[in-house]
Chain A
Amino acid sequence: MIRDPHQQARELIACGGQGLTDSQQTGLRAHLDGCALCRDYAAAAEQLVRSLRSVPVAANLALVRTTQMRVRLHAQQLRQRQERLWLIWMSCVLVGLSAAITTPFLWRGFQWLGEWARVSSPVWQVGFMVFWISPALVASLLFLARGIHLSDTNGTSRG
Chain B
Amino acid sequence: MNAAACYFVNGMESETSAIARGLRRRDPDVLDRLIEQYQHRLLRYLVYLTSNRELAEDMFQETWIRVLERGHQYDPKYEFSTWLFSIARHLTVDYLRKKKPASLDGLLDEEEGVSLDPPVLRPSALELVAQQEQAERISAALVGIAAEYREAIVLRFQEGLALEEIAAVTGAPLGTVKSRLYRGLNALLPRLKGAQA
Distance A67 CA – B36 CA, assembled complex (angstroms): 10
Distance A54 CA – B116 CA, assembled complex (angstroms): 13
Contact A64 B47 (CB under 8 A): no
Distance A14 CA – B166 CA, assembled complex (angstroms): 14
Contact A64 B39 (CB under 8 A): yes
Known contacts A55-B138, A56-B121, A57-B40; A78/B32 CB under 8 A: no
Known contacts A15-B178, A67-B64; A53/B39 CB under 8 A: no
A44 within 8 Å of B by Cβ?
yes
> By the criterion of a CB under 8 Å from any partner CB, how many residues of chain B are at the interface?
49
* Shortest CB distance A48–B (Å): 6
Residue from B26, B35, B42, B181 within 8 A of A68 (CB atoms): B35
* Shortest CB distance A46–B (Å): 10
Near A by CB (< 8 A), chain B positions 38-85 give 39-40, 42-44, 47-48, 57, 60-61, 64-65, 68-69
B193 cross-chain contacts in A, Cβ below 8 A? 44
Binds B, one of A69-77, A123-131, A136-144, A146-154: A69-77
Contact A15 B138 (CB under 8 A): no
A53 cross-chain contacts in B, Cβ below 8 A? 157-158
From B39, B119, B121, residue with most partner A Cβ within 10 Å: B39
A51 within 8 Å of B by Cβ?
yes
Residue from A16, A52, A71, A78 within 8 A of B181 (CB atoms): A16
Near B by CB (< 8 A), chain A positions 1-55 give 10-11, 13-16, 18-19, 41, 44-45, 48-49, 51-55
A100 cross-chain contacts in B, Cβ below 8 A? none
Closest to B47 in A: A57
Contact B158 A55 (CB under 8 A): yes
Distance A52 CA – B181 CA, assembled complex (angstroms): 14
Contact B61 A70 (CB under 8 A): yes
Contact B28 A72 (CB under 8 A): yes
B139 cross-chain contacts in A, Cβ below 8 A? 55
B171 within 8 Å of A by Cβ?
no
Known contacts A53-B157, A75-B31; A48/B188 CB under 8 A: yes
> By the criterion of a CB under 8 Å from any partner CB, how many residues of chain A are at the interface?
35
* Shortest CB distance B72–A (Å): 11
Contact B64 A58 (CB under 8 A): no
Known contacts A52-B138, A57-B116, A67-B60; A11/B121 CB under 8 A: no
Closest to A78 in B: B26
* Shortest CB distance A7–B (Å): 8
Known contacts A57-B43, A66-B61; A44/B189 CB under 8 A: yes
**Binary flags per residue of B75-118, CB closer than 8 Å to A gives 1, else 0:** 00000000000000000000000000000000000000000111
A84 within 8 Å of B by Cβ?
no
Would you give 27 A-B contacts (Cβ < 8 Å), ordered by A?
A10-B185, A11-B179, A14-B181, A16-B156, A19-B163, A19-B164, A45-B189, A48-B189, A48-B192, A51-B134, A53-B157, A55-B116, A56-B131, A57-B48, A58-B43, A58-B44, A59-B39, A59-B60, A63-B60, A64-B36, A67-B60, A67-B61, A70-B65, A71-B28, A71-B64, A75-B31, A78-B26
